[in-house]
Amino acid sequence: MVRVGILGATGYTGVELIRILSNHEDVQIKYLSSQNFNGKKIEDVYHSLKGYCDVELHELNIDDIVESCDVVFAALPSGYAMNIVEKLCSSGVRLIDLGADFRFDDFKIYKEWYGASSDDYGSVSRVYGLPEIHRQEIKNAMVVGNPGCYPTSAILGLAPALKSGIIENHIIIDSKSGVSGAGHSPKQGNMYAECNESIKPYNVAKHRHMPEIEQELSKLNHEDTKVIFTPHLTPMTRGILSTMYCRLKKDISIESIHEIYREFYKDEYFVKVLDISEYPSTKSVYGSNFCHIGLEIDRHSNTLIVMSVIDNLVKGASGQAVQNMNIMFGIDEAKGLKMVPVFP
């Protein structure tokens, strides 16, 4: 049995972790932390968990965590996991951070976009936790930086095209996210009256996920790769659709591109390349750990259009974190994650 702690258990990704892990036979939830609900049982805060998890919430206490857990999921705002990582690692407790603290190869880039009081990662070695790309390194990692939600949809959608060298180094990513992507703290722009029946771009050309996407695409492409990234807030609870426009280097048929994608993901349980002419929808992956990818070519501009969908709370956060945990502990990668998407 893997003994698990979840820090930030009352947030959206924390609750999603508990939902998923409650159905995972190889896991025992031993420790849950919260800032505002200490002393309460999680099932009394979120009634969706009634009968599934009666663990009490505590203020974050590192000594208690080290004593009771083999692995910790940090579902906290970025900047907090960094403060506890050394103590966890030196005590043999592995860390999967859903925030951004350990996603970057270069600390300077992390500091520039997220801010930090220190100047480096110290001795902490970490792995970018996108299993379809970094599975081998994840197996032995002490610290995994779970990818951001937009980057997961974008990188999975672009990896086969970049790796096979069929597209130019000029990529436009247009992404739409459900409101749960912003977490459970109230923000004016996320109030029902303001985001319902509306769709709006935000952080245009300056979203924090841009450098994360560029880091991973540059590695796949073996050269510095820049993207134009525009996120939008849409009136749905869960889901991300990323539509990506990539200029093709030469004439190539949709059948050949489709074959490149199918081959790239042939052994991947969670990534489904749709048939030619099929387009993905967020509804088709809702509540599941799947990523669906659709492909089209715009012949008059010789542009490959890749459409990628995920559930931001599952493949974009907690599901992917559990997938990483399974890999780290030698458990079947899909264990606890075979949920059928909720439809309609």
Ligand X SMILES: NC(=O)C1=CN([C@@H]2O[C@H](COP(=O)(O)OP(=O)(O)OC[C@H]3O[C@@H](n4cnc5c(N)ncnc54)[C@H](OP(=O)(O)O)[C@@H]3O)[C@@H](O)[C@H]2O)C=CC1
The residues carrying an active-site annotation are 149
Site residues for ligand X2W per CB under 6 A: 78, 99-100, 148-149, 177, 181-182, 208-209, 231, 233
151 binds, among ligand X2W, ligand X, none (CB under 5 to 8 A by kind): none
Q: Find out whether 333 and 129 touch, Cβ atoms under 8 Å.
A: no
Size of the site for ligand X (CB under 6 A): 30
75 binds ligand X per the rule CB under 6 A = yes
181 binds ligand X per the rule CB under 6 A = yes
- 142 versus 240: smaller Cβ distance to ligand X: 240
Site residues (CB under 6 A) for ligand X, limited to 303-332: 312-313, 316-317
208 binds, among ligand X2W, ligand X, none (CB under 5 to 8 A by kind): ligand X2W
Rounded to a whole number of angstroms, the minimum distance from the CB of residue 140 to ligand X is: 23
- 39 versus 330: smaller Cβ distance to ligand X: 39
145 binds, among ligand X, ligand X2W, none (CB under 5 to 8 A by kind): none
Rounded to a whole number of angstroms, the minimum distance from the CB of residue 197 to ligand X is: 22
- 127 versus 161: smaller Cβ distance to ligand X2W: 127
Q: What residue type is assigned to position 129 of the chain? A: G
Q: Find out whether 265 and 273 touch, Cβ atoms under 8 Å.
A: yes
76 binds ligand X per the rule CB under 6 A = yes
Rounded to a whole number of angstroms, the minimum distance from the CB of residue 76 to ligand X is: 5
Site residues (CB under 6 A) for ligand X, limited to 148-177: 148-149
- 18 versus 149: smaller Cβ distance to ligand X2W: 149
185 binds, among ligand X, ligand X2W, none (CB under 5 to 8 A by kind): ligand X
Q: Give first-to-last CA distance, the chain, whole Å.
A: 35
231 binds, among ligand X, ligand X2W, none (CB under 5 to 8 A by kind): ligand X2W
Query: Binding residues for ligand X, per CB under 6 A?
Result: 8-14, 34-37, 60, 75-78, 80, 98-99, 148-149, 180-181, 183-185, 312-313, 316-317
